[in-house]
Chain A
């Protein structure tokens, strides 16, 4: 088992190195630089057009930029220029507020819906219609009605992450084994106790699955929302560097978005493991 882990790790490293090598080769410019430019004209032009360098950064450029950004993650040069660490914190903060609100709403409401098959059937079409709507489609509506861009971003995270949790909670609660409920009934357990000691533990793994799907969605949404409203956050960072056509910085942003998304997912995976029980 251990040797499999080691071998897998080795293979991962190998793949990474091969990928970087291919990348480096792809961006290395060919030897011929075309017709020589008037030096005065060349001074006014970008380095990529003069033929000295490809417009696409190589892995070393990206690594250098990454190091640059990681060296001082928390600098703050006013509202339009903050360190990457601060930007990530802003994004994570936004996600937690929006996602937290979604949990507070989706789990209890999902619980109620799950206990009543009638409500489940009646609400299902609405949920199915609202679930696939993109955050970018909600944004103009949110900006127009809420009249506050920060709240709008949080609202969009809320509205996009609430549905999977709601559905999964309702499904999990509805799918609790009849036998367990019947046992509870014969033991004359009250409704509150039944909800908390029988249904909740039984449905917890499904609820956590919903929460795990939702945190992924919330993290996807935050980047899109911040690109749209701007101001702060990792999405704004990517947008700002896109304006500057600094592809190296955009790649750094993409890497960090991936890493944070993975960490968030891992946390919920751990939680899920803790509530899952063997049958």
Chain B
């Protein structure tokens, strides 16, 4: 990632890197080094790189110039005729928020890490907002409270804004996914008595809990079952249980297993109730899970507040994506006011060195990861699954719904303003369990499955 590249370095290229997301190894290294710098320095680099680009439209010439005079001389020379400090300040101060006292709802799971940690770690105040984060009992409640404007914005499952916008399970109200919270970070968990059921094909007849009908969990679990020849509607029972209540239900043997956020799965292991069968990333590495959502009304009536909030979230997400910060984050979000969970459990989730419940210690630093960019192709995939399982009846214009709900362009704009490098496109292809998904051909994708409801 070349988000924090130094414009005075010979090695870094200015402007967007070629592939957008995946930079060269040197760039990656320099970004990690630069991440140690404060915001001030980062904004300064952004302004300076804009200036350098204006002076030397040709990258070759800029490098030749730097080689000739040296980086520090170049920086000093620039500073003499351009007030870098003042420009940096002007850049950092953007439009004043229309409203600074905000309420943001969350569900106590590690998926909400950026939203929650932004409160104790001061990301909201840094961007001029006084945000109250409010713990909420379940997804239906968070949906109703956000629709009723008790919350200005909320932590939602990534498919929820798509569902609300289309009026699935509620009145149609235009909602948006401003940013993705986390990628990966979910686990297929089974009760300890099902130790021998490592093969998914043997899961017939079990009872599984999912957090919500419109969740990646629902779609991923159904996908996994269907790929193994189990019809999720007739061969197993899928039950909606709010994530925080899953462990209690698993202990009571009310359910046989669940696909849930990692802190819930790890809690089941911690209490000796269940074991982690597999991580969701083995199905689709980099899949989205939860989203930072708001109503379209909020973002149009209060654009500056929305921008400041989005900046805080993207800032927090960027911080959370760094492995070295994860331990501190686990401690910040563990108290009763936030996740109310043992630090050991959260650390195993965020750092990625965890007990699987069967006596093994596994290590996967990318068990959960954080990447704010709301790819439109993510939305298209979710829509294909809604269609596949009969949640959407009739025709759906995949591309336009995805474009209206997943605000990839807005996120890219804010990321650019913050000096980060957003991806150059808003759609990308990926594969789920080895099957490639082409966002341009959603209808064909739905038709290609053997087990489906439409």
Contact = CB atoms under 8 A, between A and B. Distances in A.
**Chain A complexes with chain B:** yes
Interface of A: 37-38, 40-41, 43-46, 48-49, 55, 77-81, 140, 143-144, 147-149, 227-231, 239-245
B271 A55 contact: yes
6 contacts: A46-B271, A78-B337, A149-B145, A227-B137, A243-B340, A244-B340
Contacts, number: 98
B135 A46 contact: no
A244 B132 CA distance: 22
B391 interface: no
Given A45-B272, A147-B148, A245 B248 contact: yes
B437 interface: no
Looking at chain B's contact residues, is the secondary structure mostly helix, strand, loop, or mixed? mixed
Nearest to A144: B144
A48 B336 contact: no
Contacts of B132: 78-79
Nearest to B353: A44
Contacts of A48: 271-272
B419 interface: no
Interface in B337-380: 337-338, 340-342, 344, 348, 353-355, 359-361
Given A44-B355, A45-B355, A229 B348 contact: no
B340 A240 contact: yes
Given A149-B150, A244-B341, A38 B359 contact: yes
B245 interface: yes
Interface string B322-343: 0000000000000111101110
Nearest to B147: A147
A231 to B, nearest CB: 7
B346 to A, nearest CB: 12
Contacts of A241: 340
A216 B407 CA distance: 50
Contacts of A77: 335-337
B321 interface: no
B267 interface: yes
B344 A245 contact: no
Contacts of B360: 41
A46 B272 contact: yes
A40 B248 contact: no
A228 B144 contact: no
B108 interface: yes
Contacts of B134: 79-80, 230-231
The 10 nearest A-B residue pairs measured at CB: A49-B272, A81-B337, A243-B244, A44-B355, A147-B148, A230-B137, A46-B270, A80-B337, A80-B135, A244-B340
Given A77-B337, A80-B336, A80-B337, A228 B342 contact: no
Contact of A44 (B141, B247, B271, B361): B361
B361 A239 contact: no
B336 A239 contact: no
B355 A41 contact: yes
B136 interface: yes
B336 A81 contact: yes
A45 B108 CA distance: 21
Given A41-B359, A46-B271, A244-B341, A143 B141 contact: yes
Nearest to B144: A143
B269 interface: yes
Contact of A245 (B140, B149, B267): B267
B70 to A, nearest CB: 50
Nearest to B266: A44
B308 interface: no
B137 A229 contact: yes
Contacts of A231: 134-135
B341 A228 contact: no
B271 A245 contact: yes
Contact of B141 (A40, A79, A147, A230): A230
B3 interface: no
B133 interface: yes
Contact of B361 (A41, A243, A244): A41
A40 B363 CA distance: 13
Contact of B136 (A49, A147, A230, A244): A230
A243 B108 contact: yes
Contacts of A147: 144, 147-149
A45 B150 contact: no
